[in-house]
Amino acid sequence: MNDLLENDLRQLVRLAIAEDLDVAVDWTTVAMIDAERRGACQIVSRAHGIAAGVALVPWIIDEFDADLDVEVLVGESETFSPGTPLVRLSGSARDLLTSERVTLNLLSRLCGIATMTRRYVDLIEGTSARLYDTRKTTPGMRRLEKYAVRCGGGHNHRTGLFDGFLIKDNHLALGRSAQAGGENTADKSSNREGAADRLSAAEAARRAVAMRGGLMNQLVAPSIVEIEVDGLDQFEEVLRTGIDIILLDNFSLDDLRTAVAARDDAGVSVELEASGNINIDTIAKVAATGVDRISSGALTHQATSLDLGMDWTGGFAT
C-alpha cells in the first residue's frame, strides 16, 4: 500500500461512481429509504478465498463521501472460508445501498486474483521458483491487480514500460543492428527487410546493459535488464552479456533443465524465468526444472471474481 496505489484506486472509484450515478442520484434508494435511516451490514464471502483489498475499503467509502464507519475484520492475505465476514459497514442506510455494488465489484475482483495466485504459489512450494505476474492486466487496474497478486503470495514483474527493460522478439525484428547502421543509404534501403537490419539478441542485451541505471534527458534508466529468448541457441548468445534475467519463452521441460545446467556451469548470476503455457496443470513441473522465476498472465487475465455479498446485520434506526 502506497500513495500510487491509493491514487489509482481513487481514480477508479470516481469512474465507477460516475458509471452508477452520472450526475444524478440513486433514485430507487431515495424513493424507498428515509434520509435519517441508519443501519449496518457486513461484506461476507460465499466461497473459500484469500483477502485482497479489504484494507482499501476506507478509501472507497471516502470517495463516496458516505456517512459510514468502516471496520475491517480480516487481514490482507488472510485465508477465509464461506460465511466469513470481511468488512463491517455502519451508518446511513442510503449510503450503504448506494456504495454496495462498487465496493463489492472491486473487492470481488481483487480477492479472486489473490485466491488464484495462492493456488499457483501452493503448487510450487518447496522449489526455488518464485511466481511473477505480467502486464496482462485490466486497463486502469494494474497497480491494484498487482497488489492482489502480492496478497496471494506472488511477486510483481515490472509495473509498466517505464520501470524495467524487457527485450522481446519484436524489439529485435524492428531494431537496427550497428552493422546495418553503418551501411550506405542504398544498402540500408535494400536490406530493410533483411537479416542485416535485425538486432541480434546479444547486441540488444548489451545496449540495454550499457544504458542500465544511466541518465537520459534527466530520466534515470531502469536498473534491471531482461531479455526474452525462444531457443537454446539464443539463450547461449545472451548468457554472458551481463543482463539480469533471461526469459525462457515456451521452452520444453528438457530445454529448461538444459538452460539451468548451462547457467550453473557458466558460473554467471543471471536469473532464469520460465514463461508461456503456465497453468495449474504445468506449473509444478516447470518449477521442478530449477528455474528461479515463473511468470504467468493467467494470474490476472484468467482470474474470476470471488463471490462476495453484503448481508444486513440489523440495528436499523431512525
Q: Among residues 114, 179, 196, which one has the least CA distance to residue 151?
A: 114
Catalytic residue among 145, 203, 228, 292: 228
Residue 183 is a catalytic residue: no
Catalytic residue among 119, 136, 188, 257: 136
Residue 136 is a catalytic residue: yes
Residue 249 is a catalytic residue: yes
**Sign of torsion, CA 191 193 197 200?**
negative
Catalytic residue among 249, 263, 292, 293: 249
Catalytic residue among 14, 19, 36, 101: 101
Catalytic residue among 150, 168, 176, 212: 168
Residue 10 CA to residue 31 CA, distance in Å, equals 28
Name the phi and psi angles at 46, rounded to 5.
-100, 5
Tell me whether residue 47 is exposed, middle or buried, using C-beta atoms within 10 angstroms of its C-beta: 0 to 12, 13 to 18, 19 or more. Answer: middle
Residue 101 is a catalytic residue: yes
Residue 228 is a catalytic residue: yes
Pure H helices in the chain:
3-21, 27-32, 57-63, 93-123, 142-151, 169-174, 178-181, 185-190, 201-211, 232-238, 253-266, 283-287, 298-301
Active-site positions?
Answer: 101, 136, 168, 228, 249
